[in-house]
A and B are shown apart, each in its own frame.
Chain A
C-alpha cells in the first residue's frame, strides 16, 4: 500500500507530463492546465497522507524498487525514502507547486505552447520529488540533474529569443560545474564507505572513527558543497540565477525561488552527519553563505528590473541559509527555506501579476502607482515584503532572526555582515514596493488604460501564499518549536530549546530596528524625495559597479570562457593541423622515398645484376659467416 502510494506520489506529475506532451495540444489549453495542476495536487495529497502516517507511527517509509547500478564493491538501488526531512520538503514542493500550476493556467493562457509549459512544469515537479525522495545520493542526483534540465527548458521556454537561450544554457552549464563537484564527492564517499545510501552512509560514517582523520572526508564534504553552490546559486556559481529570470515568471517563482534552488540546502541537511564531522568545510560554508548574502543584497540595491531584484534577493536569502548550515543549525536553515518559499513565491507571483497587467514590462522605472489598480496584488506583496524584511510577526522575522541569533552565537563578524545584508534586504524590497505601487504611474498611456487586477486564478494563490507568509513563523517559534521537534528523529538528537534571555530579546530588537532603518531609508528616498533610479546610461560611481553586478560575468568571460575558446581555436587551428600534417607527412615521405627509389630502378640490367650479387653475398655472409 505504502509502496503503491509512494509511486503515485512520484509518478503522478510524470503522468501529467506524458499527458501534456502527447495529448496536451489536442486537449486544449484549459484541460492541459487542469491536468497539470491536478497531477501535482495528487502528489500533494499523497504527501499529506505520508505526513499523517509519519506523525502517527514515527517510522520513515522506505520503498525499494530494483537494483540500478552495480559496482564492484557495492550496488546502488532504485529506492526511495520518506522520512521527516523528505516529507517536509515534499509538502511545500507539491503544495507551492500546486498553487503555481494554478496560477500558470491563467498566466500562460495567451501562450500558444501552454501545454508544453505544463509538461515541463510537471516534469520539474517529478524530478524535484525524485530529488527529495531518493534514498541514496545517486537517486538524488537523478533529480538534481533533472531539475537542472527542466530549469534549462523553462528558462529557454521562449526559445525564439537567443538571449533567453543563452541564459538557459548558462544555467545548465553553471549547474553542471557544481554537478561535477557533487559527482566527485559521491565518488569519494563511495570509495570510502562502499555505499551511497543515506542510512548506511550515516551508520558507517558515525561508526568508523578512523575515517575522521582522513582528509578525503573533508574533500568529499567540500565537493558536495560545490555541488550545492551550483544548484543554490552561491558564490562563485551564482551568476546564472539572475539571468534565469528570462523564463516565465511562474518558473521563477517555483524553480528559482521556492524549490529547486533549495536543493543545495536539502542536500547539505541530508548529509548533515558528514558536515558535522568536517568543521573546516562548515566554516567555508558559513563564510561563502555570508559573503553571498551581502554581495547579492548589495547588487539588489540598484537593480531596476523587478524580477532581477527578486532574483538577487533570492541569492542573498540562500546565502543566509548557508550561513545557518555552516553554523550547524540545520533546522534553522530548513525553517528559513520554508518561510522563504512562502514569501518569495508570493513575491514572484505578485511581480508576475504586475508584469502581466503591464503586458510584459519589467522595468520598475516604468511602473508606479499600481496600488489602486491592483489592490490584491499590492496587499499580498506587501505582506510578503514585510515578511522578507523581517518585521514582527511575519514569517521572515522568526526565521531570519533565528539565523542571526545563531550567527551571533557562532561568530560576531558573521552576525554583523548578516545583519547588514538583512538591512539591505529591507531597503531594496521596500524600494521595489515604493517604485511599483506608490506615486504616479510612469508607463505609457495605453498600458495605463489597460491596468487591471489579475483574474482570480492568479490572486487566489497569491492570497494563500501571503497568508502562509504571514503566519508561517508559527511552525517554529523560539522556545517552543514544532519544526525542531518534528525534525528531532531525523537529526537523531534532542533539540535543546533556546532559552530566551536578555541577549535574544536584544538581538530581536536590533534586527527589527535594522529592518526599520532600511525601510526608513527607502521611504525617505523614494516617497519623501520622490527619487527615481537613474537611466542606464546615467548610472555612475559605485552604483554603476553594483548595477553591473561587480562585473563578475565579464570577469568570468575574460577568465574562463574566452581562454577556453582560445584554446579550442588553437587546438583546432594548429594542433589538429599539426597532427594531421604529421600523418600526411608520413604519407608524403613514403611517396618521396618511392620517387627517389624509382630512379634506381632505371631498367639497367647491369645495375640489377650488381645489386643481385651484393644481395647474394650479403645473404651468404649472414647465413654462414656471421
Chain B
C-alpha cells in the first residue's frame, strides 16, 4: 500500500489544517451570531481531526484515527448540548447575539 504522503507531503496537510483552524478562530472572533460561532468551532475541530488523520498515516498507526472517532463523538454531544443552550437562550432573550449575553460579568 502506498503512503499517500509520499505524493502530497506532510507539510501541505499541516498548512491546510492551520489555515482551516485559523479561519475558525477568525470566525469565532469576527461574528456575533452564536450559531455561526458554533460553526466556526466545528471548522476548528475538523482542522484538528484532519491533522490527526494525517499524522495517523504518517505514523502508520490507527490510534490517531481512533482519536478522531472520539473527537467526533464529543463534537456531536457538544453540538447537541450547545444548540440546546442556544435555543433556550433564544427563548429567553429572543436573540442569539453574543454581545447581549453579558451575564458572565457576575
Contact = CB atoms under 8 A, between A and B. Distances in A.
Contacts, number: 26
A605 B106 CA distance: 13
Q: Is the interface of B mostly helix, strand, loop or mixed?
A: helix
B28 interface: yes
A603 B29 CA distance: 15
Interface size class of B (residues with CB under 8 A): 10 to 19
Interface string A579-617: 000000000000000000000011111101110010000
Contacts of B32: 606
A281 to B, nearest CB: 77
Given A613-B25, A613-B29, A606 B102 contact: no
Interface in A356-415: none
Given A606-B98, A606-B99, A601 B106 contact: yes
B105 interface: yes
B101 interface: yes
Contact of B102 (A603, A609, A613): A603
A606 B105 CA distance: 13
B26 to A, nearest CB: 10
B105 A601 contact: yes
A610 B29 contact: yes
B28 A609 contact: yes
A603 B105 contact: yes
A597 to B, nearest CB: 13
A2 to B, nearest CB: 87
Interface string B72-100: 00000000000000000000000000110
A interface SS class: helix
Contacts of B28: 609
B68 to A, nearest CB: 22
A610 to B, nearest CB: 6
Contacts of B25: 613
Given A603-B105, A605-B104, A608-B104, 18 more contacts: A601-B105, A601-B106, A602-B102, A603-B101, A603-B102, A603-B103, A603-B104, A603-B106, A604-B102, A606-B29, A606-B32, A606-B98, A606-B99, A609-B28, A609-B29, A610-B29, A613-B25, A613-B29
20 contacts: A601-B105, A601-B106, A602-B102, A602-B105, A603-B101, A603-B102, A603-B103, A603-B104, A603-B106, A605-B99, A605-B101, A605-B104, A606-B29, A606-B32, A606-B98, A606-B99, A608-B104, A609-B29, A610-B29, A613-B25
Closest 9 CB pairs of A and B: A603-B105, A603-B102, A603-B104, A605-B98, A609-B29, A602-B105, A609-B28, A610-B29, A613-B25
